Every structure is written in structure tokens, then in C-alpha cells.
Amino acid sequence: MQDDGNLIQYPIETFDTGENAYWNTNTYKSGDNVTLNLNDDGQLYLVKTTTNFNIMNLSRSNGTLPTSGKIFYRVTLDADGIFRLYSHTLIAMEPDCRCLPGFLFINQDQKTQGCRREVSIENCGNKQEQFKFTMYLLDNIEWQDNPYSVLTTATKDECKTACMDDCSCEAAMFYDQECRKQKIPLRYGKSGITTAFVKIGEEISLRSFTYEELENATDGFKEVLGRGSFGTVFKGTLSNSQRLIAVKRLERMVDEGEKEFRTEMRAIGRTHHKNLVQLLGYCHEGLNRLLVYEYMSNGSLANFLFKSERCPGWNERVDIALNVARGILYLHEECETQIIQCDINPQNILMDEYRCAKIADFGLAKLLKPDQTRTFTAIRGTRGYVSPEWHKNLPITIKADVYSFGIVLLEIICCRKSLDMELVEDEVILVDWVCHCFDVGELGKLMTDEEVDIRGFQKMVSLALWCIQDEPSLRPSMKKVVLMMEGIIDIPTLPCSATSFLSSI
């Protein structure tokens, strides 16, 4: 601003003379006491301070401003040599909360509570995991620093790879050749000079098939793998990859079949866990409703336990039970929408080629809203595995699945069906027989011929009995079930006899 009232822009390393001027306001006749001002109307003016008179409007806009909200201004001499005024209107002074890719809000209605993983990174080193991981880059953001491991003299790429290859690493902070491996949660993020890498699970989208494609893939729906209450499952092969698939064709009346189709799509379309059967795609064509799953070569747990030439070994049975428990835990606490599976039984648990157990058939599943912990619904499930509250017209919670798991757990550890009419009268109903043996201290009668650690066997029986308590609140959560099975927390002692602690079933 010159003394003559002219605002001039001169390039650097030039003399402040007229021939060198890059731009000017041409107000050199205004005299001294001229200033550049940002007025309340959002315009830049040259103002004669002695008379408070606007000599010139430099903004060249109509001056229209929002009627509400807070406005931030910035004046910049840009790289192209043009002097510009910028404005940003913040309509509501609320934090603009967002989650990273692969994360979801803990509570959609209260976003400031933070975000949680959409996909667990548990067992990320398992080559058979059904989804892949990637590292998401966040530049110039610093977080609370609480590393469990520090690598020195590392490059940015080496830091990224080191976290990717370490299943314990969920995020890594890199600055000045130092890589600091972190665990989730990341808190207190702010602007800084650190580069952050966050490990996320990649989304798997569902493929849409035509009916003709699935008809060809199954050779005209020729080989039946199994039948359920809503449809039949056929074996098939994808022509482009020769990958084996299982195709579930819904066969109930149209309205009920449509409900079943949408329930199953909503329930597992966005779930990703090693102990859930993977949904690959669907067909929604005319009246045809089909679901395409990964093929499970070892059939159902029921066949695996009850129709094999010999019962699987004790350690393998415990692993199977733990896999089932982890799958239910994911449905209850870790996936986007809390799901009550409602039909946990050995027919709906399938075994892959590595004898890894996976939960299948979500047609009866009940999805809970974010603020919902219980629901009233018509009785559903398989006889013998249905919890008592279904029959009492009481609200249903995730504890209904815990009960069903308890029955399945007894079947797994005893390697027999919950109801076997070929046995002697006292042993026909497994729960009654287990309770009797538990109370009189004769658990050995429940064991198979193999050598089994009696203490380990007793612990599993105790856990199963806790799961099938008549009162839902007394049943442990699936989180506690998993922790007890892993030996991280102890299994409580039953407060009285097993028989008196259970209702008649």
C-alpha cells in the first residue's frame, strides 16, 4: 500500500517502480490513509480511513452471504500471482466425524463415541482366511503413542511391510526412520508430521448370478448336498474358475421364500469371519431366489460326529467347539449388525477341507437394531436346541444362541446326538444323562474309548451346563465362553446340582 493510496503488487527482486508493477488498483489519486479491509459483508474494500469511505471493492462479487453459520476467510497470494479471497461456511459447529475405510461407527447416532473395525484381524496369518488385508495410509496425523515394538533405521515402505506381516500389529507410526507398531484403538488424533499406517480388511462384494449360470453350474441341480426348512442345497462348479460351490435354492411359497432370501442376504452379506460359511453371490431373477456359498467338502458337523467310522479325537473336538464359539461371538458382538442366529445345531455347522467348523444357514436369523438387545418373535429353530424362553413367550436375546451352543457342545464332547432313541432309557436324552453323571460323579460314563484328560472333560461339561441354564441371565456371554474355552478365565463352579439348576427340557 503506497502513500498515494495505490495498492500495488511488485515481483520480488525488482525495483518498486511503475514499469515493474505486476498489478495495481489504480487508486494513486486517493492520497494517504488508505487501508485494505475485510468488511462484514465478506468483501475486500480499499477504505479511506479519514472519511471511512469505500474507495474500491476488490472482491468483484455480489456480496451475498449465508444467513446462518460461521464463515472463515483466507487471503492468499497464489502461485499464479493472483491475490485471492477464499471463504468457507461452517453451517453447524458440530464435529465432522468420519471412520476410516474398514471401520464403522460404534453408534451411528452418537458418532463421537468413535469407530470400530468392520472386519476382525484375528488369525490374519491363516492362509485360508476368506478376506485379504491392506495398509491404509494417513499422512500428517499424530496419535497417542503407545507402541509395543519399535523398529529403528526403517524406511516408510519397510514400516508398512513390517506391520502388514505382523498379526499383532494393527497400526504403525513412522517418522524419522523409526517405525512404532501399535494396537487399536488409536486415540487423540491431531495434525502433525507423522505418517500412520492402519491395517484394514478389504471388502468382498457379492456377485450377481443369472439363473441359467447356476443351472449350468449345478448340471441342472443334479447333486443334492442337503435339504433345509426353506430349500435344497446343490453342489456346483463355477465354469470360469472350476471352483466348487454350494447353491441353495429357496423353494417355499413366494412370500415366505422372499423373506428368507432377504433375511439371509442381510444377515451374512457383510459378514467376514473364518468360522462363518462365506456367501459368494446370489440370484434374484423372476421368482427364482438362490444363494451361492463356498463349498464345504467335509459336510455337516452332524455327519462328522455321528456318522463317521470313528469319533474324532478329543483335541479335534475341542477345536471344533472353539471354532463354533468364535463364529457365534462374531455374530453377537463383532459384525456390523448384531445377529441372533436362532438355529445353532450340528446340521447348520459345516466342515471345510481342513476340518475347520463354520456356521451356515442364516435363514432364521434375527437382526437387532443398534439400540436393541432383545426382541419378541415367533418360535424358530430346531427342536432339541431351542432355549426355554421361546416356549414361554419371553423376549429373545443373544442368550438363546448360547443355550443352543450348550447343547451342541455336549454333543461334541460326548460325541453323540442330543436325542438317541436307540440307547437305554436313562441315556436317551443327553442333557438328562449328563446331569445325572455330573451329579453322581460318574463323568467317565460319558467318555468315548480314547484316553481323555478327566479334568479337561469335566471343565467342558461344566461350561456346557452353564450355557443351558433355564434363566438366560445366568448363561455366560459368548465372549466369556470363548475366554473360558481358551483357558484365559476360569469356569465357575455350579452353585448346586446340575439337575436342580436346570428346568425340565
Residue 416 in contact with residue 427, Cβ under 8 Å? no
% of the chain beyond a pLDDT of 70: 81
Distance CA 331, CA 343 (A): 13
Instruction: Identify whether residues 332 and 279 lie together within a single domain.
Output: no
Containing structural domain, residue 251? 207-294
Distance CA 385, CA 396 (A): 14
Q: How many independent structural domains does the chain possess?
A: 3
pTM score above 0.85? no
**Beta-carbon contacts of residue 207 (< 8 Å; ≥ 6 apart):** 280, 281, 282, 292
Residue 121 belongs to a domain: no
Rounded to 5 degrees, what are φ and ψ at 336? -60, -45
Of 387-391, 399-403, 462-466, the range with the lowest mean pLDDT is 387-391
Model confidence at 317: pLDDT above 90:
yes
Model confidence at 180: pLDDT above 90:
yes
Question: 194, 95, 181: which is closest to 141 by C-alpha?
Answer: 194
* Domain end marker among 24, 41, 57: 57
Please give the C-alpha separations between residue 373 and each of 83, 397, 481, in angstroms, as whole numbers: 58, 6, 19
Q: What is the mean pLDDT of residues 178-199?
A: 88
Alpha carbon 271 to its chain's center: 7
Residue 83 belongs to a domain: no
Predicted confidence band at 260 (pLDDT cuts at 50, 70, 90)? low
Instruction: Identify whether residues 275 and 359 lie together within a single domain.
Output: no
Residue 456 in contact with residue 423, Cβ under 8 Å? no
Model confidence at 406: pLDDT above 50:
yes
Residue 37 belongs to a domain: yes
248 is in an annotated binding site: yes
Residue 150 belongs to a domain: no
> Residue 493: which CATH number?
1.10.510.10
Rounded to 5 degrees, what are φ and ψ at 163? -70, -40
The pLDDT of residue 489 is: 92
Q: Which residue has the cell 458440530?
A: 94
Exactly one of 4, 32, 96, 343 is catalytic; which is it? 343
Predicted confidence band at 34 (pLDDT cuts at 50, 70, 90)? very high
Predicted confidence band at 186 (pLDDT cuts at 50, 70, 90)? confident
Instruction: Identify whether residues 290 and 320 lie together within a single domain.
Output: no
Instruction: Identify whether residues 289 and 315 lie together within a single domain.
Output: no
Residue 106 belongs to a domain: no
For residue range 424-483, list pLDDT tens digits in order.
888 889 999 999 998 888 888 888 767 788 889 999 999 999 999 999 999 999 999 999
Rounded to 5 degrees, what are φ and ψ at 38? -100, 110
Residue 259 belongs to a domain: yes
Distance CA 462, CA 448 (A): 18
Q: Among this protein's residues, is 426 annotated catalytic?
A: no
Instruction: Identify whether residues 366 and 453 lie together within a single domain.
Output: yes
Model confidence at 20: pLDDT above 90:
no
Q: What is the mean pLDDT of residues 384-392?
A: 80
